[in-house]
A and B are shown apart, each in its own frame.
Chain A
Amino acid sequence: MTATLEPRAIGRGLARRDGGAKVRGVAIYADETPVPDPLFCRIVQATVARGRVSDVDTAGATALDGVVGVMTSTEAERLASTDDAELAVLQGTEVGFRGQIVAAVLAETDEVAREAADLVRVTYAEEQADARLSADRGDLYTPESVNPTYPPDTHEGDVAAAMAEAPVTVEQTYTTPMHHNNPMEPHATTALWEDGHLTLWDSTQGVHPVRQTVTQIFGLEPEQVRVVCPYVGGGFGSKGNPHANVIMAAMAARAVPGRPVRLALTRQQMFSLAGYRTPTIQRMQLAAERDGTLRGIAIDVVEQTSRIKEFAEQTGVPTRNMYAAPNRRTTHRLAALDVPVPSWMRAPGECPGMFGPEVAMDELAAELGLDPVELRIRNEPEVDPETGKPFSSRNLVACLREGAARFGWAGRDHRPGMRLEDGWWVGTGVAASVYPTMRMPKSTATVTYDGGRYVARIGAADLGTGTWTVLPQIAADALDVPVEDVDVLIGDTDHPEASVAGGSSGTTTWGSALVEAVREFRDKYGEDPHDGDAASGSVNPNAAEEDYVMSAFGAQFAEVRVHADTGEVRVPRLYGVFAAGRIVNPRLARSQFLGGMTMGLGMALHEQSLLDPRTGHVVNHDLAEYHVPANADVDDLQAHWVDEDDPYVNAMGSKGIGEIGIVGTAAAVANAAWHATGVRVRDLPVTLDRVLPAR
């Protein structure tokens, strides 16, 4: 148990420190880093999903005025490490997926680079590709672990027996489609190789993780590589790990020492090179008593990975901790396909993995004629069902009750298809949210006293999450000084090492490092430091993690309207109530919750990447065809939280909030769509054609 800071700045809804720069557009993002006389790099992508590059004809490209060079696997430098096949750019002729980088062009202007890239002629020895995911494939395999290091399968008791004996069961298959992160800022890097030093102004969720990868791949020392990223135009996981474009940018820069190089992926290119969420197939089993008490719960997940690199989404993992039941099973099976490499997307595991289970719970409630809120309350576990450890705090029930009260849930007629208002079928639905409270093992901060101000430094990232604003609040309270007297500088490997902004761990991890640095500082210099006094501190392992399971919880309530003639689906109300420890900055936290819920709304209604199994590429690879929510899709959207005092999580008493908002949203919407129409949609998204039979 850590001493929780006395909140003075913490808990205040301060406006963003970077707000003024962002609304004017003068905050600098990677691709617009001012550098003298940059070259432009454009990539050429494989147009087959499997095979070999047999020839690259660069004559047309090199003949253009302004082309500085064309890079292919023949000319490109040999990388020191090619262990990661996704990042082994231009190291061989094998094509692992359609869209892989097979050449790149460097030119004096962007226009010429683009034209030259179009003129590179690549011929392939194409092989039969296999890009079709299904649960009945013969070659499904069990990964060694699922993201990041969970066991793939868990078993307790006998679910089959419970299913055979229980008076009420639900057995259904649910699917979620392939999703793309689609941050508004395309993945981009400005790179400079000069005097044996590489500088990358990269759009990333972690400057130090990028440096670590780049040093390994190029065989460089950390002192030779600087990564800078003050602002990130969104990432949602896709910028959590460097993808091939970063390696390509660095290679290009190393080919032209002294010349800066810009490489920005196009929106279309991001659909094959910047990661995505795997489609999932979730076979659910619930066995229950007539009063709703669960006797058994099982989820068997099938999903895809790329043949050249494994990523196993932990879709079944949230089921391990959600509800009490003596008989339990979770499994993960993968199909390794000729497809782009999947990766992190906001709440990997929890986001898709709370769709099937939370719709299945709704189906069970319907089967029992029970209030779906009450069904969840009846299955609330006293301790973590998987480990038997207590939760450091768990307020799912409080969220359900608070949400029900705010939403006006009481008196709901639980029968579906009963309410037709002005030509729209109206229904309501609920689902639970969960996200683990994570702390990364490594992060260090320094604190310096300088001219009456405290300046902290840490290589953290702000991808809209509010780091620029929130870390000063934490540092100020740790220092016991006004927040106005504190600066925190982030986004540069010249600052002390920080972990990736991922797993909703940033504030916990970096904040803990700051608190340690302040402790060191005060121990050394007391309350009256002199200019230049400096100390550093690092995040420690949390001993309480041995004894407690730590997670944030939430409940989401949706009202759905389905047009009786057209099936159009709208969500006039979406309320989320969360229990996520102490809220460090309410103004910014609300934006995080609402943002997650909005992305969840997109998942519910629109989002699906259509991977053509004949070609292996996503055909709706742009923002006109891959529909993220637009302004008019959002109506009465509200985020609230319940007070939660958790002395075990960290010195701030906070839990991560960046991801939980997207968890459960789609299930709440799908459940409400059923309540409106009587049509149970088990395959996302809930599009009008799937509810049209309602009429």
Chain B
Amino acid sequence: MRPFAYATPPDAREAVLAVAERPDAAFLAGGTNLVDHLRLGVATPGLLVDVTALTSAEIEDLPDGGLRLGAAVRNSDLAADPRVRGRYPVLAEALLAGASGQLRNMATTGGNPLQRTRCVYFQDVTTPCNKREPGSGCAAIGGATRNHAILGTSGRCIATHPSDMAVALAALDAQVHVLGPDGERTVPFTDLHTLPGDTPERDTVLGHGELITAIDVPAAPIAARSRYRKVRDRASYAFALVSVAACLDVAGGRIRDARLAFGGVAHKPWRAHRAEEALRGAPATDESYRAAAGVELADARPQEGFDGGNAFKIPLLTGTLVSTLRALAGEETRA
């Protein structure tokens, strides 16, 4: 671990400037991913700028019935908030499906979506990785790929994004407030993360020195009936093999609307617009759900691997989507 300076500027603007002016500076929030990366040698900043006290730790009501989540709100507080639990069960469930109680007490709203891939080769500095060291190659391709992506991969990177919370936020059309050296801007959550393409070293559209200050979740009546379903090897405390964030509006056995996002399958939380489109107006049946999964996964490219690869993610995601939507539709029948 390389030595670094530690700074606590008086406000967010100062923090942004402090990071912006040093190419080797980084923001420190909950630290659950960054501190790990310092120790692994994956991150080697010369300056850490602690922003935990500089952004809001409050959850505020928005005029439209949505919520503004301060970047410093801890994941555990966000998941426990009655408004979040009532209006956006999918978000509370996604948060609670992630990590452990201890980690959720540390991790923040702004930091969670910016956590980096858990690809074992990315985390191991003795193996090549285009994300960690551009141009060095991708050790994951042809390696252990069970946990890797099937959608939106490139020849340079097949990593997945590990956050659960981010999958829910993608489904909820959240907006990200960003403060940068040139001022503020708002980024749709679904545009925050990038696909690897030729620049897998980039995870998001944020520039150096840009800081997430808050995330808005707009009012979404459809989210009242929503679910986050995470499938993993252990019963708890494991990253997703696949996950589904789903909001479903069903009436009279027919789907009026749906919001879907998938985790564990791509370099970003995968908003499934094509599957949503396929579902609109369709009968609320397993066949419809399966067909929607098929549409979204038409371009899926499984990876071979010495561990058996990840072709199983196609039937797994299909089954997970069917199961999740069936359960949500069942809630309508019961109501």
Q: Which residues from B are CB-within-8-Å of A567?
A: 316, 319
B320 touches A566 (CB 8 A): yes
A118 touches B41 (CB 8 A): yes
B319 touches A620 (CB 8 A): no
A619 touches B121 (CB 8 A): yes
B251 at the interface (CB under 8 A from A): no
B120 touches A692 (CB 8 A): no
Contact A625/B120 with A47-B126, A570-B235, A632-B235 known, Cβ cut-off 8 Å? yes
B172 at the interface (CB under 8 A from A): no
B144 at the interface (CB under 8 A from A): yes
Q: Which of B309-335 contact A (CB under 8 A)?
A: 312, 315-316, 319-320, 322-323
B231 touches A633 (CB 8 A): no
B236 at the interface (CB under 8 A from A): yes
A620 CB contact (under 8 Å) in B2, B120, B126, B312: B120
B312 CB contact (under 8 Å) in A114, A570, A610, A689: A689
Contact A692/B124 with A114-B1, A565-B322, A627-B234 known, Cβ cut-off 8 Å? no
CB closest residue in chain A, given B143: A612
CB closest residue in chain A, given B313: A689
B127 touches A565 (CB 8 A): no
Complex Cα spacing A622 to B121, Å: 12
Complex Cα spacing A563 to B142, Å: 29
Q: Which residues from A are CB-within-8-Å of B127?
A: 615, 619
Complex Cα spacing A455 to B220, Å: 72
- B164 smallest CB distance to A (angstroms): 14
- B318 smallest CB distance to A (angstroms): 9
B6 at the interface (CB under 8 A from A): no
Q: Which residues from A are CB-within-8-Å of B124?
A: 619, 621
Q: When each residue 531-563 of chain A gets 1 if its CB lies under 8 Å from chain B and 0 otherwise, what string results?
A: 000000000000000000000000000000001
Q: When each residue 103-118 of chain A gets 1 if its CB lies under 8 Å from chain B and 0 otherwise, what string results?
A: 0000000010011001
B316 touches A689 (CB 8 A): yes
A613 at the interface (CB under 8 A from B): yes
Contact A627/B233 with A115-B2, A115-B3, A118-B1 known, Cβ cut-off 8 Å? yes
Contact A692/B312 with A565-B323, A614-B142 known, Cβ cut-off 8 Å? yes
Contact A630/B312 with A115-B2, A614-B143, A625-B120 known, Cβ cut-off 8 Å? no
- A533 smallest CB distance to B (angstroms): 53
CB closest residue in chain A, given B317: A566
B2 touches A688 (CB 8 A): no
Complex Cα spacing A695 to B312, Å: 13
CB closest residue in chain A, given B140: A619
B319 CB contact (under 8 Å) in A115, A613, A692: A692
A115 CB contact (under 8 Å) in B1, B126, B235: B1
A243 at the interface (CB under 8 A from B): no
A624 touches B41 (CB 8 A): no
A157 at the interface (CB under 8 A from B): no
CB closest residue in chain B, given A48: B126
Q: When each residue 290-310 of chain B gets 1 if its CB lies under 8 Å from chain A and 0 otherwise, what string results?
A: 000000000000000011100
B208 at the interface (CB under 8 A from A): no
A605 touches B2 (CB 8 A): no
Most chain-B CB neighbours within 10 Å: which of A47, A566, A620, A633? A566
Complex Cα spacing A371 to B68, Å: 61
Complex Cα spacing A568 to B306, Å: 22
A630 touches B306 (CB 8 A): no
Q: Which residues from A are CB-within-8-Å of B142?
A: 614
B323 touches A605 (CB 8 A): no
Complex Cα spacing A621 to B125, Å: 13
B316 touches A692 (CB 8 A): yes
Complex Cα spacing A612 to B323, Å: 34
Complex Cα spacing A218 to B136, Å: 43
Complex Cα spacing A565 to B319, Å: 5
B237 touches A630 (CB 8 A): yes
Q: Which residues from B are CB-within-8-Å of A565?
A: 319-320, 322-323
B234 touches A629 (CB 8 A): yes
- A386 smallest CB distance to B (angstroms): 37
A566 touches B231 (CB 8 A): yes
CB closest residue in chain B, given A628: B234
Beyond known contacts A118-B2, A632-B234, A688-B231: 6 more, CB 8 A cutoff: A612-B143, A627-B234, A630-B237, A633-B235, A689-B146, A692-B319
Leading 4 A-B pairs by shortest Cβ distance: A689-B312, A565-B323, A632-B236, A565-B319
Give 14 pairs: A residue, B residue, CB < 8 Å, sorted on A.
A114-B1, A115-B3, A563-B319, A563-B323, A565-B323, A606-B234, A610-B144, A614-B142, A614-B143, A615-B127, A615-B139, A625-B118, A630-B235, A688-B241
Point out residues on B near A: beta carbons under 8 Å. Answer: 1-3, 39, 41, 118, 120-121, 123-124, 126-127, 139, 142-144, 146-147, 231, 233-239, 241, 306-308, 312, 315-316, 319-320, 322-323
